[in-house]
Amino acid sequence: MSNRIEIIRAARKLTNLDLAACKQAVDQAGGDLETALRILQSPGSFQAMPGQRFKTTGTDVPPSLPQEGRSMRVFISQEERALLYRRGDYVRLLKPGRHFIIPFLKYQVERHNLNQAFRPPQHPAIYLRDPDLEKELLVMDIPDHQIALHFEDGHFIEVLQSGRHLFWKALKQHAFKAADLTRPEIQGDLDPALLNQERLTAYLSVHTVEPHEQGLLFYNEEFQRILSPGRYYFWKGSTAVRVLKADMRVQVLDMTGQEIMTRDKVAIRINFICQYQITHPRTALVQLKAYEEQVYILMQLILREYVGTLTLDELLEKKEEIGGFVLEKIREKSESLGLQFIYAGVKDIILPGEIRAILNKVIEAEKNALANIITRREET
């Protein structure tokens, strides 16, 4: 009998409830104090009793209960929620307000800041079984081939990787923009100012096609399409993105000091130029390897073909015709090269030293002969 009275007194001291309630709980528990204390706990909330208040640490996981045998009081602010555990197992959610914990029942309290993501120590499915806690949480599931941009109250916060993410709904409005990494190109549904933020640079590759260029877009080395001038954004993922750029301006190929033998076996050097423009970037940049080098070789062959049929005198007489011949011949290859040829012409014909000396003497003799003729006319 005395043991029963001591148990009732202990229950009343720990719970601060009236004597009748404590007697009834002890009787229902068969004299077991721990069971009686469970009965005295309201299923909706813990009953008031004097004790120790937990201090908010500002972290997601606060200190656990003090030493067994001491009571404690827990106050949950409006910016917090707390999770109650017993022997490591989740029990229920503690909402804002004052809660009193009976410590020797092995309870623990874990605080969570509503301004932070909900990252519990155990699997999320354990917590989502509690309807009260589920109502407080927003669940975002991201498939393996996607990422998501996370916005809070309209402001970009972070990039979320694939997996399950949980957020508190009480204080902030959450929104998400999913991105499919199997479709790397980012269309115009995202603000360029957002895409230029430093927090996104690790997830993006950016390619700029200048006004005088066209771009060739490849995914995993497979051609996709032609890119017009502009700035293009792509998600980094399993798909390799590459952009080849073609300069669409008129370009000049300058062939200097090209040595060619004339029909009469005189070795000369020719400086030659050719103007061209890319018309089909895919043909010039993809189907050909080093199209500039191929144009250069083609010009060499055409020049050799033409000059080799002429003597030196004929070559000097037809100097102005060389460009037209080369241009006509090289235009036959325009389609296969993806180029448009605009102009071709000889800049200089450089003769060997001995030939130049002979020509200089001929020119000097012609000048002397002309001077003599003029002198005789004046004398008569």
| pLDDT, position 104 | 60
Range of the domain at 214: 181-246
Query: Is residue 269 domain-resident?
Result: yes
Residue 287 per-residue DSSP state:
I
Q: Is the model's pLDDT at 364 over the cut of 90?
A: no
- Whether residues 226 and 264 fall in one domain: no
Please check whether residues 206 and 233 belong to one and the same domain.
Answer: yes
Question: Residues 200, 132: one domain?
Answer: no
Q: Give domain status of residue 373, yes or no.
A: no
Whether residue 192 is contained in a domain is answered as: yes
Which value, to the nearest 10 degrees, does the dihedral of the CA atoms of residues 372, 373, 376, 377 take?
Answer: -150
One domain for residues 82 and 136: yes
331 C-beta neighbours (distance < 10 Å), count: 16
With a threshold of 0.85, does the pTM exceed it?
no
Task: Answer yes or no: do 194 and 134 share one domain.
Answer: no
pLDDT digit string, tens, across residues 86-127: 888 999 999 998 887 776 667 889 999 999 999 999 999 999
Are 195 and 278 in a shared domain? no
- 200 and 265 fall within a common domain: no
pLDDT digits (tens, 9 = 90+) for 224-259: 999 999 999 999 988 999 999 999 999 999 998 888
| Rounded-to-integer distance, Cα 73 and Cα 225, Å | 67
Per the structure, the count of domains in the chain is 3
Q: Highest-confidence range of 40-54, 64-78, 134-148, 342-356, by mean pLDDT?
A: 134-148
Whether residue 285 is predicted with pLDDT greater than 70 in this model: the reply is yes
As a 3-state breakdown, the chain gives helix, strand, coil percent values, each rounded to 5, of 35, 35, 30
